[in-house]
Chain A
Amino acid sequence: MKEIIRINHITKEFKVLNRREGLKGSIKDLFSRDYKIVRAVDDISMSIQQGEIVGYLGPNGAGKSTTIKMMTGVLEPTSGEILVDGNVPYKNRSKNAQNIGVVFGQRSQLWWALPLIESFRLLKDVYQIEDKQYNSIIELYKSLVDIEPLLHKPVRQMSLGQRTLSDILAAFLHDPKIVFLDEPTIGLDVSMKAKIRKLISALNKEKNTTVILTTHDMGDVDALCRRIVIIDKGKMLYDNDIEHLKSFFGSYRTLKIRVDGDLKAQSEVIQKEVPDFAVSADDEWISILVDEDKKKVMDVLNQIQSSHSIKDMKLEEISSEDVIRKIYEEGVE
């Protein structure tokens, strides 16, 4: 594998005017020189390999978009160094532009009044794509999604889902090495989300394109990303495999069972039998939070079965959503 993005200790600071309140304050602000420095990105380093799909997560305002804007060359870092396929993005914006594709879920790069095919033709000339390459990617698109009805439809008449799909196709058109997807599934229905995830995954496999995905939808992350990076308040919190994220908080799973008799009373009995784990009951289930490092779920189940008759059971993983919420709220420690 080849390293495609290298980020070394980058920091980005913005100068923001300290605003005062009210009419009087607003007038005073006109002459104010009272700036404060806001550090949107604080000493972040990472290395991304060709072909990876990286989930880039963080709460709103964490500095995700700022980092992406630095990787695309739109913003210049205050300090630190970025290399995207060997280029310094902000110094060599045009060259970098050939290597990257960008999708912002809330904005479109397509020509609003024109049918999609015209936008594709435009991008073909703007990115100077060879005819052969262009035709083959259009063929690939046709095999992956049903684009024929979309091609001749003006973008302004498309639904949000169709537009997002089209924007993703447009971003991959010039066969970039890296595609940045900023909340691509925002505001879409379940079936469209699934379609878009499938498309991204297929394009990544087919073209070996590196994908950097920011999202607030854990479904996107679970479906697409092996590796996730979490930042908050500009600082890096986590950078590792998604499986590792779960074990990071202990290998907990929730065992849910239903037994004869009153669940509340039974749960107290079971609590005594498995004193290591927390047992609780609601109207439907008795839940046992099992730490698999201490005892396997099967063993716990066997133990309970020897003294109770279990009518029904299910096993729940701790979802990545739970873990990430925990990180956003409490940090890593």
Chain B
Amino acid sequence: MKIKKYLTLTRAGIIESLQFRLSMLVMVIGNLLYLIVIYFLWKAIYASADSDVVNGMTFSDTLIYLVLATALFNFMEMYTVWQIGRDIQSGKIVLDLVKPIDYRRYIFWSFSGSFVTNFLFTFLPTFIVVTAVTHGAIHMGLNLLYFVVSVVLAIMINYSIDFIVATICLYTESIWGINMMKQVIVLLLSGATVPLAFFPDTLRNVVDHLPFQAIYNAPLTLLLDGDPDMKDVCITLGTQLAWCVGMFIVSKLFWKCSIKQITVNGG
């Protein structure tokens, strides 16, 4: 009975995102343009390199990774910070705070509908096209299962980070700069824009100890590794789970402390 409370929000999210057909189309086109840029950029990088394999990755490895990273970004990015930030500025947050659902969960489940539609309309087509074009460069086996589990964990880590950043907005009452900074940091350090294999060793070492790599690098590594070693899989998923729990606790506590001292705008 209780889960219905949340699934109804998912359902509304799906209906809502289907209302905006044009915006979906624009998103797909924007994506294509981005992918074309990536293609030529990395082609140039590989052309200027001495060998076909750079940092242990071939051109097609890199491209598959980045295309899937982009697709993953499109369905995981929830724009939570924008949403919460706008609600704080306009004072609409009051209406959500007086609902009999914990605010963190409420926002998460409200966005969950767009996961479903974005997964079906952007990630899945991209994945199928990549599989078809590369003739089986992506191994079809247990790695798909690991990938799904890993993505679920990644979504939760990503949400917790977003929520922490959104909570900071309660204090600053401005969103733009903070959100930009968050986006750049997350996309870079998670391996969404440049595969982590290309990072210099010292930076790589630092990044490995941050939660961001668990968002994009972890699921993509699990997906693209055709012959996964059980130990590596466990370590990757275990690390993700640890970050998931850790960030969850941090975001929850931070919210709990912050909500006490909010001053909601408007009269």
Interface residues of A (CB under 8 A from B): 14, 60-61, 64-66, 69, 72-76, 93-95, 97-98, 100, 102, 104, 106-109, 111, 113-114, 118, 121-122, 125-128, 154, 182
**Interface with A: B8-16, B58-66, B237-245, which one?**
B8-16
User: Binding site of A, secondary structure by majority: helix, strand, loop or mixed?
Assistant: mixed
Whether A114 touches B8, Cβ cut-off 8 Å, given contacts A75-B264, A128-B1, is no
B132 at the interface (CB under 8 A from A): no
**A127 partner residues in chain B, CB cutoff 8 A:** 100
**B98 partner residues in chain A, CB cutoff 8 A:** 72-74, 93, 97, 100, 102
**A126 partner residues in chain B, CB cutoff 8 A:** 5, 8-9, 99-101
Asked if residues B12 and A102 are in contact (CB atoms below 8 Å), the reply is no
**Interface with A: B89-97, B151-159, B161-169, B196-204, which one?**
B89-97
Whether A107 touches B91, Cβ cut-off 8 Å, given contacts A73-B98, A125-B4, is yes
Q: Mark B105-120, 1 if CB is under 8 A from A, else 0.
A: 0000000000000000
Most buried by B among A60, A75, A102: A75
Asked if residues A111 and B16 are in contact (CB atoms below 8 Å), the reply is yes
| Distance between Cα atoms of A118 and B9 in the complex (Å) | 11
B263 at the interface (CB under 8 A from A): yes
**B92 partner residues in chain A, CB cutoff 8 A:** 107
Asked if residues B20 and A76 are in contact (CB atoms below 8 Å), the reply is no
| Distance between Cα atoms of A94 and B263 in the complex (Å) | 19
Return the chain B residue nearest A65 by Cβ: B267
| CB pairs A–B below 8 angstroms (11 shown) | A14-B263, A69-B264, A74-B98, A75-B263, A97-B99, A109-B95, A111-B16, A113-B20, A114-B19, A118-B12, A128-B1
A-B pairs, 6 with minimum CB distance: A125-B8, A65-B267, A97-B100, A109-B95, A113-B19, A94-B100
Whether A74 touches B264, Cβ cut-off 8 Å, given contacts A125-B4, A126-B5, is yes
Most buried by A among B90, B94, B97: B94
| Distance between Cα atoms of A97 and B101 in the complex (Å) | 9
| Distance between Cα atoms of A66 and B266 in the complex (Å) | 9
Asked if residues B5 and A94 are in contact (CB atoms below 8 Å), the reply is no
**A69 partner residues in chain B, CB cutoff 8 A:** 94, 264
Minimal beta-carbon separation of B249 from chain A (angstroms)? 20
Q: Mark B176-192, 1 if CB is under 8 A from A, else 0.
A: 00000000000000000
| Distance between Cα atoms of A107 and B92 in the complex (Å) | 7
Interface residues of B (CB under 8 A from A): 1, 4-5, 7-9, 12, 15-16, 19-20, 90-92, 94-95, 97-102, 260, 262-264, 266-267
Asked if residues A128 and B260 are in contact (CB atoms below 8 Å), the reply is no
**A102 partner residues in chain B, CB cutoff 8 A:** 94-95, 98
| Distance between Cα atoms of A93 and B99 in the complex (Å) | 8
Minimal beta-carbon separation of B96 from chain A (angstroms)? 8
| Distance between Cα atoms of A104 and B266 in the complex (Å) | 11
Whether A114 touches B4, Cβ cut-off 8 Å, given contacts A93-B97, A126-B101, A127-B100, is no
**B4 partner residues in chain A, CB cutoff 8 A:** 125, 128
**A76 partner residues in chain B, CB cutoff 8 A:** 260
Asked if residues B94 and A72 are in contact (CB atoms below 8 Å), the reply is yes
**A104 partner residues in chain B, CB cutoff 8 A:** 91, 94-95
| Distance between Cα atoms of A154 and B7 in the complex (Å) | 21
Whether A122 touches B12, Cβ cut-off 8 Å, given contacts A65-B267, A128-B5, is yes
* A-B contacts besides A94-B101, A95-B100, A122-B12, 13 pairs, CB < 8 Å: A14-B263, A66-B267, A74-B97, A74-B262, A93-B98, A102-B95, A104-B95, A107-B92, A107-B94, A108-B95, A111-B12, A114-B16, A118-B12
| Distance between Cα atoms of A240 and B169 in the complex (Å) | 42
Whether A61 touches B267, Cβ cut-off 8 Å, given contacts A97-B99, A100-B98, A104-B94, is yes
Asked if residues A118 and B100 are in contact (CB atoms below 8 Å), the reply is no
Asked if residues A107 and B90 are in contact (CB atoms below 8 Å), the reply is yes
Minimal beta-carbon separation of B103 from chain A (angstroms)? 9
**A111 partner residues in chain B, CB cutoff 8 A:** 12, 16
**B94 partner residues in chain A, CB cutoff 8 A:** 69, 72, 74, 102, 104, 107
Minimal beta-carbon separation of B182 from chain A (angstroms)? 21
Return the chain A residue nearest B260 by Cβ: A76
**A61 partner residues in chain B, CB cutoff 8 A:** 267
Whether A94 touches B102, Cβ cut-off 8 Å, given contacts A69-B94, A76-B260, A107-B95, is yes
Minimal beta-carbon separation of A57 from chain B (angstroms)? 13
**A72 partner residues in chain B, CB cutoff 8 A:** 94, 97-98
**A106 partner residues in chain B, CB cutoff 8 A:** 266
